[in-house]
């Protein structure tokens, strides 16, 4: 690891020296050098494609702000939220719910999106890596807030589950692309980045909102 880090630093210094007369900003020179190194160091295999080396605007703005020790500007944050919200794909059949039992399996499944996963194979949600979900679970991550009683705390019941539209829409949108609500959220953009299918998202919706789900017991 140390040898790789030193080599990368040397490469960047040499690259910057070569580009010094180009008129590009220091940030542009560093980015160009890093992109060249990364492109030469990775290959596409399984579900890990070369597209992972390319940042979209949201990732670029958020990572730049994080690297500088600052928060993204209000203007940039609002632009990220608006563009993310507009890109949310709502259920094509108008149905938001699936099977909470399958949702539970998805939440505990951390497989997918690596070089060893076959293209087209379904991924897990890995929700327990960041959240508490059920009362019985004794091991879970704390990077994200607890989701235990998610639907119950928001007043979703058997009586009104079909009409609790605001929280249903919000939950779907949050799963699809959390940056529609929090510009620099570290939560995976499950739908936006095609990590999970619409059918899988419906199962997670049921896990979170169905009153009979272990989440709400």
Question: What is the domain-level CATH number for residue 202?
Answer: 1.10.760.10
pLDDT at res. 1: 45
- pLDDT above 70 covers a percentage of the chain that reads 84
| Dihedral-angle region of residue 71 (phi above 0 means left; psi in -120 to 50 means alpha; beta otherwise) | beta
Between CA 156 and CA 210 the distance in angstroms is: 8
- Residues 39, 105, single domain; the answer is no
The rounded mean pLDDT for the chain is 85
pLDDT at res. 18: 52
- Residues 188, 140, single domain; the answer is yes
Widest pairwise Cα distance in the chain: 69
Range of the domain at 126: 100-216
- Residues 69, 129, single domain; the answer is no
Q: What are phi and psi of 130, to 5 degrees?
A: -125, -20
- Residues 135, 211, single domain; the answer is yes
pLDDT(7) > 60? no
Between 27 and 202, the higher pLDDT residue: 202
Q: What is the model's pTM? A: 0.79
- Residues 104, 203, single domain; the answer is yes
| Residue 143 banded pLDDT, cuts 50, 70, 90 | very high
pLDDT at res. 196: 96
Q: What angle do CA 64, 44, 112 make, to 5 degrees?
A: 80
The number of folded domains in the chain is: 2
pLDDT at res. 31: 72
pLDDT at res. 6: 47
Between 35 and 167, the higher pLDDT residue: 167
With respect to residue 105, please indicate whether it lies within any of the assigned structural domains. Answer: yes
């Amino acid at each position: 690891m140390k040898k790789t880090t030193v080599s990368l630093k040397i490469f960047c210094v040499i690259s910057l020296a070569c580009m010094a007369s180009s008129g590009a900003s220091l940030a542009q020179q560093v980015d160009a050098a890093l992109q060249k190194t990364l492109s030469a160091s990775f290959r596409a295999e399984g579900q890990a494609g070369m597209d992972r080396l390319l940042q979209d605007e949201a990732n670029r703005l958020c990572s730049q702000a994080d690297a500088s020790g600052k928060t993204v500007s209000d203007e940039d944050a609002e632009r990220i939220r608006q563009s993310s919200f507009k890109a949310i794909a709502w259920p094509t059949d108008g149905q938001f719910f699936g099977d909470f039992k399958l949702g539970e399996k998805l939440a505990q499944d951390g497989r997918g999106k690596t070089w060893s996963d076959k293209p087209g194979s379904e991924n897990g949600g890995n929700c327990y890596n960041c959240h508490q979900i059920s009362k019985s679970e004794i091991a879970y991550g704390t990077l994200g807030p607890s989701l235990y009683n998610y639907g119950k705390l928001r007043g979703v019941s058997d009586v009104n589950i079909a009409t609790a539209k605001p929280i249903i829409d919000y939950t779907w949108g949050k799963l699809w692309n959390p940056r529609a609500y929090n510009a620099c959220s570290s939560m995976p953009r499950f739908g936006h980045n095609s990590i999970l299918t619409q059918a899988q998202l419906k199962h997670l919706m049921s896990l979170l909102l169905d009153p009979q789900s272990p989440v709400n017991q």
